[in-house]
A and B are shown apart, each in its own frame.
Chain A
Amino acid sequence: MPPFTTRRTIRSPILARTDGFAVETRGVTKEFAGFRAVNGVDLRLEAGRVHALVGPNGAGKTSLFNLLTGFLKPTSGEVLIFGRDATHLRADEIANLGVARSFQITSLFEQLSALEHVLLALQSATDLGLRFWSSEGALRRFVPRGRELLGEVGLEGAADRLASDLPYGQKRALELAIALAREPRLLLLDEPTSGMGLEDVGRTIALIRQVAGGRTVLLVEHNMGVVAEVAQRVVVMQQGRVIADGPYEAVRHDPAVIAAYLGQVDA
C-alpha cells in the first residue's frame, strides 16, 4: 500500500456508481442552531428528466438547493452528483461537474451589462479567466453565442443594459441565459417564473422544455400550472422532509400533500 493513499482515493471508486441518477442524496440533514432545515432527505433525480421541488414556504427547498450546489455543507449525510461524492466539494468544483443553478433572490453583477453576464458564463468554460495579461478583446469570440443566448430568453434588445437597470422579469430571464451558457448536464432553477408576467411565464415554460432535452432539471416552483406543464416528477417537501415523490397527478391526490397544503392555509 503506497504511503500517500488517502481516504478520498479509497472512497471514490466505491461511490462511483451512477445507477442512472444525476443526483442522489443519502440522509442529507442540515441544522441551523438546532433547527433542522433539511431532515434526512433521500432524493434521487433521474438523468435527463425534469423534476419539480414544491412545498410550503420554509419547507427547506432552497436549503436543499444550496446543499446540492455546495453553498451549504450538510450536517450529516451524503450528496452524490453523477455518481461522484460531492459532499465536501466547493461550489465552483460542483459547478465544474456540469451543474448550473439560478438564484431565488436575483443577485446579478450590478455593474455588468446583460451581455457581459453571459460572456462571463461562457468564458468560465475556458482557461481565459486567469489571463490577467490578455486584452479584454479576447472575450469578443464569445459575443455571437452570447447574443444568441440572450435572444433565446427574449433579451436581444437588452444586451447592453446594466443588469441593475433591468425589470424583475428580465432579470429572471437573464438568470436562465447565464445558466444555459454553462451547457450544464444538471440545471437547478430556483423559482424561474416568479415575478414574471403571463407572457414571460409562457415563454419560460417553452424554454425549459426546449433546454430540458438530455438534461436533468430540478426546479423549485410555486406556480402549480408551471409544474404541471413541465415536470415529469414532483417532489414535495414539508418541514425539511420529503413527504411525496412521483408524477404530478399522483402527488396531487396524495393525502399527505393535501394535508400539508391545507395545514398551511390554516396557519
Chain B
Amino acid sequence: MEESKLLIEDKNIVTPGDILAEGLDYLPSSGCYRTGNIIKSKYFGVVRIKNRYLSVIPLAGAYMPKSGDGVIAKISDIQTTFWICDINSPYDAILQIGEVAEEYIDLTRTDISSFFDIGDIIYAKILNVTKSKNILLTMKDYRARKLIGGRLIKVTPSKVPRIIGKEGSMIELIKNKTGCQIIVGQNGIVWFKGQNEALAAKVILMIEKEAHIPGLTDRVNAFLDKFSNIKGEKL
C-alpha cells in the first residue's frame, strides 16, 4: 500500500483546491473534500490537524446553523403560533410558542406579541436543524432571554471562537475590564450593554480583524489597559 503524505502543516493558510494530504490514512473533516486519493481544501482559510482528521476553518462566509448553538436573533415576523426570526444566516428560524411559555396559552385571548414583538432582540438556542434547513429555536435554556437596550455588532461567524477564547477567557477579560454585559451569539452577532460600550465595540472589532495572528490575548490586554484609566468616560 502507498504511504500517506501530509503536504501542509497545522495553521497553514490554504486557498480552495490546495492539496492537503495524499493517501487514505488522513480523513477530511469540515472544510475539505476527498477526490480519489487526495484531500483538497474547500475554503480560503486556516488548516487544523487533529490526529488523522484535517479541517479548514474559513476566514469568511455565511453562518450555517447547528443544533445547540446559542444565537442572537431578531424577531422579523409574528404568525398566529410562532415567530419568524432573522439569525444572520441564509435561512430564517422559527420560534414556536411552546418553546417560550411554560404554561398553556389560550391563543383566542392572547396576542403573542406581548411576549416578543417585531424588532425585539433575543438570545435563543437552536433546538433542531433539519436536512432541508428548517430551523427551530427554543427559549428553554438557562441563558436564553430577551435582550433589552444595548448595542449589536456583526462579526464574521468563523471568528466567534476567538472572541470567546479558551473556556471563555477572552470574553471574561473584556467583561471585567470594560464593565459591560456582553453576549456573543454563535451566528456572529455580539450584544453588549454598559458604560464602556464604545471600548467594548473597538476591542471586538480588533479581535475580528486580528483573530488569526498569534498572541491575541496579550494584545487585547494591552489595548484594554491603555484605556482602563479613563474608565467611565465616553471615548
A and B: interacting chains: no
State the A residues within 8 Å of B (CB).
Answer: none
State the B residues within 8 Å of A (CB).
Answer: none
